[in-house]
Structure 1
Amino acid sequence: MTAKTKGTRLPAITIARSEHARLSNLADMLAERDPHSAEQLATELDRARVIDDARMAPGIVRMGSVVEFRIDDEPPQTAELVFPKDADIARKRISVLTSVGAALIGMSAGHAIEWAARDGKPRRLSVIAVHDGVPDAHAS
C-alpha cells in the first residue's frame, strides 16, 4: 500500500495524536515479526498530519470507525477498523495492520489511494463513507 503507482499522489491523511502514538508503538513492536505490515503502517503514520484528539473532525477514519469502501471495481464493503487483537473478518472487523486497514487510517469519504499489492498488482481503495466509532473502544 505504501508504494504508490507512477504519477499518483497519495491523499492527505489526518490522525489523532493519541492514535498516532499507539499505532507507532504497534508498528515498532511488530517490526521484527512482520516487517512488511509494520512498514506499511509506519509509512502511513509518517506522512500523516497529526492533530490533537479534540480537533479531529467527524468523517475521518479512526480506530473504531465503520467505513464503507471499494477496492478496484469490486462491490462496496463495510467494515470496522480495529487493532489486531479485535480483528475478525466474519464480523467485518479489519486490522489496521492489513494493507486495507493501513490504507484506510486517516482517510475521508471521497479519498482514494493506490498501492502495489504483495503480488505487485496495482490496487485502488476508495472511501465511500465514514461512520465514526467510539475512540479507544478497541484499545490494544
Structure 2
Amino acid sequence: MTKSGRGRLPKIVVSHDEQERLSALAASISVRNPELAEELQGEMERARVVAPDKVPAGVVRMNSEVEFESDDGQRRRVTLVYPGDADISAGRISILTPIGTALIGLSEGQSITWTARDGREQRLTVLSVHGGGPEEPAQDGAEAGPVVDLSGVRAARSRRTSAAGAAGGDDPGPSAA
C-alpha cells in the first residue's frame, strides 16, 4: 500500500482468525507472487488484531459487502472474498488483488491510496460496509451449508469404476435397476 493523504497509512482492524488465515494465505503465495504476498502480510502486521466478536461495525472483513468511491468519482459495490470464491462479474473480488488487499480492515469513511496492477496509483474511500466475518454472508443473508469433503467419495467411485473396467463389466449403477 502506498501512504494515504497525510503521509501515514490508515489504521486498520482485523480479527485474530482472519489475521491468521490471511497471513497463511500470504505465505502460500510468496513464491508465486512475492509482491502481493508482501503487501498482504504487511497489512496483517500493521493491523490492530482483536477477537472476532470485538471487530467494530463498519470495518471491512472477509465476506463484507463494501461500497467505495474511487478518486475518479466512480462508486462500486463489491464483496471481499477468498480466492476460490472470487467472481468479478458477480462483484466478488479476491483478497489476493491489490484492491482487495487495500480494502481489508478499513472502516467506513477511511481512504487509502493503492497501486493497481498496471502500476497506477489510485485512491479509494470506503462509504459503507455490510456483513462480513467468516460465518456471516454479506449479500443475501442465506446461511452457507457445511463444507463437505468429497475426496473420499470420489476416490471410492474411481476405484469402483476402475475395477469394473478391469473385470470387463459394464456396471450401469443403481439407476438402471
Confirm whether residue 3 of structure 1 aligns to residue 2 of structure 2: yes
Q: Which amino acid aligns with 2:39?
A: Q
Confirm whether residue 19 of structure 1 aligns to residue 26 of structure 2: no
Confirm whether residue 49 of structure 1 aligns to residue 48 of structure 2: yes
- Return the structure number with greater relative CO, CA threshold 8 A, min gap 6: 1
What SS does structure 1 have at the residue aligned with 2:113? strand
Q: Which amino acid aligns with 2:116?
A: A
- Structure 1 residue runs of 4 or more that deviate by more than 2 Å after TM superposition: 3-8, 115-122, 133-138
Offset of residue 115 of structure 1: 2.8
Confirm whether residue 31 of structure 1 aligns to residue 37 of structure 2: no
Mapping for residues 71-82 of structure 1, pairs under 5 Å: 71-82=70-81
Q: What are structure 2's unaligned runs of at least 5 residues?
A: 138-177
Q: TM-score, normalised by structure 1?
A: 0.89
The whole-number CA distance in structure 1 between the counterparts of 2:54 and 2:4 is 32
Instruction: Report the count of equivalent residues.
Output: 137
Mapping for residues 1-140 of structure 1, pairs under 5 Å: 2-4=1-3, 7-136=6-135
35-44 or 14-23, which deviates more? 35-44
Q: TM-score, normalised by structure 2?
A: 0.71
Q: Deviation digits for residues 37-88 of structure 1, max 9, x if unmatched?
A: 1111111111100011121121110000000012211410000000011110
Larger relative strand fraction: 1
Equivalent residue number for residue 171 of structure 2: none
Percent identical among aligned pairs is 46
Relative distance call for 1:120 and 1:18 in structure 2 (3 A) is same
Cα RMSD, aligned residues only: 1.8
Greater Rg over alpha carbons, structure:
2
